[in-house]
Amino acid sequence: MSPLVIYNTLTRRKETFVPLVPGRAGIYVCGPTVYDFIHVGNARTFAVFDLVVRWLRASGYEVTYVRNITDVDDKILDRARERGEPIGAFTERTVAAFVEDCERLNLLAPDREPRATRYIGPMLELIERLESKGLAYRGANGDVFFSVHDFPGYGKLSRKNLADLRAGERVAVEAAKRDPLDFVLWKAAKPGEPSWPSAFGAGRPGWHIECSAMSGRELGATFDIHGGGWDLQFPHHENEIAQSEGANAEPFVNYWMHAAFLNMGDEKMSKSLGNFFTAREVLDRLDPVQGGEQLRFFLLRGHYRSELAFTPELLEDAGNALRGLYTALREVPAARSPVDWSHPIAARFRDAMNDDFDTPVAFAALHELRAEVNRTRSGALSGLLRALGGTIGFLQRDPEAFLKGGVTLDVDALVAERSAAKKAKDYARADAIRAQLDASGIVLEDKPGGATEWRKK
């Protein structure tokens, strides 16, 4: 059996996954900054790490899955101010919307979901430790900065060179810093902003320190996997490494994983570019029953390290592929059994997933199995298809209910009326009903023997 290998951004190589504690895996994923609904590109990142967690569990690991919530940040303060809403009420509402989007996408809830504002103590402890080691200093403006110059190895994740980075910065921008690359750990309080008391004066944390403090508190100074979007490699993850390794003098993370962008045309989908759809906008346009699994299927069909284009055609194509799998499950009722890994298609699926989560190959195995189910009409193979899909969170719905979708017409009544019309040789009425259903996106399939089945287009 193939071992799990993971592409480690830190070493730029695929490496066999060897957890710190045999049989266990700790994973930390940078979660949302809750100032708005997540866009569908963010949804891709969260779906990717949901897949990673599910596959680790399916492989027998006892996983601790931590995903944080950034609930204090300039964007949050600005947005709450614009709306005239207290910050706490505003973030509660955006967190609830995020949870709802995750549920619609069938993403597992993390085991722990630390919120920045509840971890101020651990953040301050970390900053004090950095200061005592000469890695943090108080700037002239009252902010506390990390001294990049004093941390050897800065740039090792993103493979950036300090001289090049400095050349790219406008040195005079912030006179409070010793070095333009230094980044803020603690921001001095400003009037009208939330702040916490500290040895450095009242203030609030910088963004990067949150993840170092929360991951350390939840998973320990060294842990197995850290994930996030591609764009977080620099500066966010580089800064997390500097803070955590600077404070603890031991390796921070053994495997760094980054999910590639979802693109609109040739550009990354992002809020700053304004070329985005929120996840809920996309879901609201899809069938209410099928949409969540369809979008998730679309987001995970491409390999997580490859950029993916968002187009209505590709989204629809993913829906058709998924409905094809469910149709096989409807036609041949699935026997309930655990995955038989000795079956060659199951083994191919597992080898693909173990090869750095190679979903294009794994999904191809599912389609191959669908063809086998259709050919052999074997309930055992149908059960295998369902169970394999289940390892990564697919194909667990009732096929009949899934394929019918969230239609509001009483389709069964119309189908019965059409059958009665046909029997009475009222073909005009029968055709009119078929046309009405077709206009509502319902396809009828007349089976030998007179029965009629239907599904959503």
Residues making contact with Zn ion (CB under 5 A): 30, 211
Nearest to Zn ion of 4, 211 (CB atom) = 211
CB of 135 to Zn ion, least distance (A): 19
Contact 237, 256 (CB under 8 A): yes
Nearest to Zn ion of 213, 430 (CB atom) = 213
Nearest to Zn ion of 36, 355 (CB atom) = 36
Nearest to Zn ion of 211, 241 (CB atom) = 211
Q: What is the full DSSP assignment across 290-319?
A: THHHHHHHHHHHS-TTS-EE--HHHHHHHH
Helix or strand or coil: residue 39?
strand
CB of 229 to Zn ion, least distance (A): 10
C-alpha pair distances (Å), 50 with each of 19, 103, 244, 290: 18, 12, 25, 19
**To which H or E segment does residue 65 belong?**
strand 62-67
Q: Which two tokens stand for residue 212?
A: 């170092």
CB of 74 to Zn ion, least distance (A): 16
| Gyration radius of the chain over CA positions | 26
CB of 87 to Zn ion, least distance (A): 20
CB of 219 to Zn ion, least distance (A): 13
C-alpha pair distances (Å), 417 with each of 47, 147, 315, 441: 43, 76, 34, 18
Q: How far apart are CA 69 and CA 16, in angstroms?
A: 30
Nearest to Zn ion of 107, 315 (CB atom) = 107
**To which H or E segment does residue 43 belong?**
helix 40-58
CB of 30 to Zn ion, least distance (A): 3
Contact 388, 340 (CB under 8 A): no
Nearest to Zn ion of 209, 421 (CB atom) = 209
Q: How far apart are CA 377 and CA 143, in angstroms?
A: 68
The owner of tokens 């070329």 is 275
Tell me which residue of 157, 154, 220, 210 sits closest to 184, measured CA to CA: 210
CB of 338 to Zn ion, least distance (A): 36
Nearest to Zn ion of 30, 181 (CB atom) = 30
Nearest to Zn ion of 124, 395 (CB atom) = 124
Q: How far apart are CA 46 and CA 104, in angstroms?
A: 13
CB within 8 Å of 205: residues ≥ 6 apart: 72, 116, 120, 123, 185, 186, 187, 213
CB of 380 to Zn ion, least distance (A): 45
The owner of tokens 């609904």 is 37
Contact 401, 455 (CB under 8 A): no
Q: Which two tokens stand for residue 432?
A: 């009119």
The owner of tokens 């389609």 is 367
Nearest to Zn ion of 41, 383 (CB atom) = 41
Q: Which two tokens stand for residue 277?
A: 């759809």
CB of 231 to Zn ion, least distance (A): 12
Q: How far apart are CA 357 and CA 48, in angstroms?
A: 9
CB of 211 to Zn ion, least distance (A): 3
Nearest to Zn ion of 210, 287 (CB atom) = 210
Bridge partners of 264, per DSSP, are 267
Q: Which two tokens stand for residue 428?
A: 């005009």
Number of C-beta neighbours around residue 268 at 10 A: 18
Question: Cα 58 to chain center, whole Å?
Answer: 18
Nearest to Zn ion of 44, 422 (CB atom) = 44
Nearest to Zn ion of 66, 97 (CB atom) = 66
CB of 210 to Zn ion, least distance (A): 7
CB of 240 to Zn ion, least distance (A): 6
